Amino acid sequence: MKSAIVNALKGFAMGAANVVPGVSGGTIALVTGIYSRIIAAISSLASIKLWKLFFKGKFAQWWKAIDGSFLLALGIGIVLSILSLAKFLTWTLAAYPVLTWAFFFGLIVASAIYMLIPLRNWRFMDVLWLVLGLGIGLAFCFLTPSKTPETAWFYFLTGALAMCTMILPGVSGSFIMQILGKYDTVLAAIDLSAPNWSVLLPLALGAVIGIVAFAKFLKWLLARFERQTMLLLVGFVLGTLIKVWPWSNMEAVEAAGKGLQIGGAVLFIFLGIALVVGIQVLSSHKKS
């Protein structure tokens, strides 16, 4: 029971990180010492051999092989975190859009910088990978229409992409939703009094399929091309920063009626940076 509660609390922290664009659930998993266990457990769900145990009725063996108790506790924590924070963030985005996005902007900038710090002995190809990621990020922002489809297949795709990034240190799932123009919609759909199932069901299905399919590939990718992958990701994150610029949506700023709030925005950018620095200090302490 104690182990389950601890894992649920770690899941709650991961869920909170992924509701906020800029803090990665993968980073929180590293800080709390469960990253490798998560990747191994999720990767096992893609094993045909283990699913044969399930369909043969050997449920206890299957549950143990996929680390089911760990995944269940973690999942409960993540869901509770998302449900509890969604309404609060919906309110802050409507009432204080500049300050909220300034905080997110600081989180993302600091996260990108921290992803670059461990990389030593830079070579020409490293710069090319970073520039390539930057180009992809910019293209993604400019080519993604301001209004994306309100269809089940697009919510499925959003869920799959967002959940894949949840297990990537440095990239936030909610940041991907923001790039795809679905962050506000998803937050509004997570309403306990009147949930929007036409959004949540395809999103959840995409999330489950996406993370199971991606975990095995990520394990292989990081084992063979970790440096290139991280450089590409950092470039992508930096290229898509224009999506979270505090004044990128002037309609929302004017609707809030609180002006440009430049001084407050600067303060909240630094608060976002400070939070990431704190998380990274905890991460370094955990590793040591």
Tens of pLDDT, residue by residue, the chain (288 residues): 788 888 898 888 888 777 777 667 776 776 677 877 888 888 888 888 889 999 999 999 999 999 999 999 999 998 898 888 888 888 998 899 999 999 988 888 887 888 788 788 899 999 999 999 899 888 877 876 767 889 999 999 999 888 877 677 666 778 788 888 888 899 889 887 888 999 999 999 998 888 887 877 877 887 788 889 888 888 888 887 887 889 988 888 998 889 899 999 999 999 989 988 887 777 666 555
DSSP single-letter state for residue 195: -
Q: How many domains would you assign to the chain? A: 1
On whether residue 199 sits in a domain, the answer given is yes
135 occurs within a structural domain: yes
Closest CA to 247 of 275, 268, 272: 268
Residue 101 placed within a domain = yes
Rounded CA gap, 27 and 180, in Å? 22
**Burial tier of 251 (Cβ tally within 10 Å: 0-12, 13-18, 19+):** exposed
Domain annotation covers residue 18 = no
CA distance 116 to 81: 29
In a domain, 278, yes or no: yes
Residue 149 sits at φ, ψ, to 5 deg, of -60, 140
Angle at 90 between CA 93 and CA 75, to 5 degrees: 130
268, burial (CB in 10 Å: exposed 0-12, middle 13-18, buried 19+): buried
Burial of 113 (0-12, 13-18, 19+ CB in 10 A): middle
The closest alpha carbon to 130, from 229, 254, 207, belongs to 229
Residue 164 falls inside a structural domain? yes
Residue 42 near residue 207, CB atoms below 8 Å = no
CA proximity to 160, closest of 224, 214, 102, 196: 214
Residue span of the structural domain in which 95 resides? 86-287
Number of continuous H segments (helices) and E segments (strands) in the chain:
14, 0
Q: Which residue type, as a one-letter code, is found at position 40?
A: A
Q: Which two tokens stand for residue 72?
A: 């269940």
Q: In whole angstroms, what is the distance from residue 24 CA to residue 108 CA?
A: 9
Nearest Cα neighbor of 81 from 11, 170, 137, 134 is 11
CB 286 within 8 A of CB 31: yes
Residue 14 included in any domain: no
**Dist CA 286 CA 250 (whole Å):** 41
